Amino acid sequence: MNNRAWLFLLPMLIIMSLSAFIPLMTVVNYSLHYIFSGSMPQYVGLANYLEVMRDSSFQNALGRQLIFSTMVLVVQIPLGIMIALALPKKGTGATISLVLLGIPLLIPYIVVGIVWRLFTQSDIGVVPKVLALFGYAYNVALDPIDAPLTIFLLDVWHWTPLVVLLCYAGLQSIPDAFYQAAQIDGASTWKTFRYVTLPKLRPVLILAVLLRFMDSFKIYSEPLLLTGGGPGSSTTYLSLFVARKAESYELGYAGAVSVIYLFVVVTFSFIFFQIMKNLGKGEHSR
C-alpha cells in the first residue's frame, strides 16, 4: 500500500523536477557562454567562472552573505529555542501566543521592506527619533553599520517565529516520562535541557538550521527596498548582486554566479546536516 501511494505522487514529482531541471540547465548553458545585450552568444567554457572568482565585488558580496547567514543561525536558533521554552504549554495563552507569532510569517517580503523603510526613515521614522533620545544618530541610508544591522534585525523579527513554531512543535512531542525520569534522578534544569530536551529537539533543529540558512541566502526584497544595497555596497548580498548583473544583461556572468551560488548553498547545507546528524549519533551512543 505504501509503495502504491508513491504512484499518486510520481506525476507531481516529475513535473516539479522538470520545472527545476530545465531552468537550471538554462542557467548552466548561459554560464558557459559570453552573452551580452546586442551580441551573439559565444562559447567561452569556464571563462565566466574564472572571472567571477577573481572579481572582488563578488568576493565581497559572498563574504557579506556568509557573515549574514552565520549571524542568522547564531542568533535565531538559540532565540527561537528560548522563546519556545517560555511559551505556555496549553490553554488559551498558548493559542494566542502561537497566532501572534505566526503573523510576521504571513507578511510578504515586499511589505516588510516597505514598512521597515518607513519606520527607519531619517525624517519621519520612529526608530531614528527614539534612538535620538539616547543620543545616537541613526541613519540607515548613510551609515554602513546601521544599514546591515537593520537588515539583520528585520530578518530576526520576520523569521525567528518560524524557529519558535518548529521548536514548540518539537517540545510538544517530547513525552512527559522523560522529564519525570530526569526529576527522579535529581537532574538540574540545565542538565534536563542538555540531556533530555536538546537531544529530542535535534531533528527539528536540523530542519530549522537548514531552512533558515538556505532562506537567508535568498534575502533580496528587504535590502532592495530598505537600503537599495547601500550605503555603498554594505547591504548588497548575493541575491541582489546576481540580480543586478542579470539586469545589466551580463547573462553569462550572472549565470556563472548563480551556479556558484547554488553550489555554496548546497555545500554548506550538506555540511550543516552532516554535523548535526553526527552530533545526534554521538548523543545516542552515550
Give tens-digit pLDDT for 34-87: 877 667 888 888 999 999 999 999 999 999 999 999 999 999 999 999 999 999
Whole-number pLDDT of residue 209:
92
**Range from 59-63, 68-72, 256-260, 280-284 carrying the lowest mean pLDDT:** 280-284
Whole-number pLDDT of residue 1:
47
Query: To which residue does cell 495563552 refer?
Result: 93
Whole-number pLDDT of residue 276:
78
Task: Tell me what the mean pLDDT of segment 218-242 comes to.
Answer: 91
Whole-number pLDDT of residue 245:
85
* Letter string b/e over residues 5-39, b meaning 16 or more CB atoms within 10 A of that residue's CB: eeeeeeeeeeeeeeeeeeeeeebeebbbbbbeeee
127-174 confidence digits (pLDDT tens): 999 999 998 989 888 889 999 999 999 999 999 999 999 999 999 988
Query: Structurally, what CATH architecture does the domain formed by 32-284 represent?
Result: Orthogonal Bundle (1.10)
Angle CA(105)–CA(235)–CA(258) in degrees, nearest 5? 80
Neighbours of 282 (CB within 10 A): 10
Whole-number pLDDT of residue 12:
83
170-225 confidence digits (pLDDT tens): 999 888 898 888 888 888 889 999 888 998 898 899 999 999 999 999 899 999 99
Domain spans of the chain, in order of start: 32-284
89-122 confidence digits (pLDDT tens): 888 888 899 999 999 999 998 899 999 999 998 8
Length of the chain: 286
Whole-number pLDDT of residue 36:
73
Nearest to residue 141, comparing CAs of 117, 109, 124, 157?
A: 117
Whole-number pLDDT of residue 285:
47
Query: To which residue does cell 552565520 refer?
Result: 70
Whole-number pLDDT of residue 125:
87
> Which residue type is seen at 92?
T
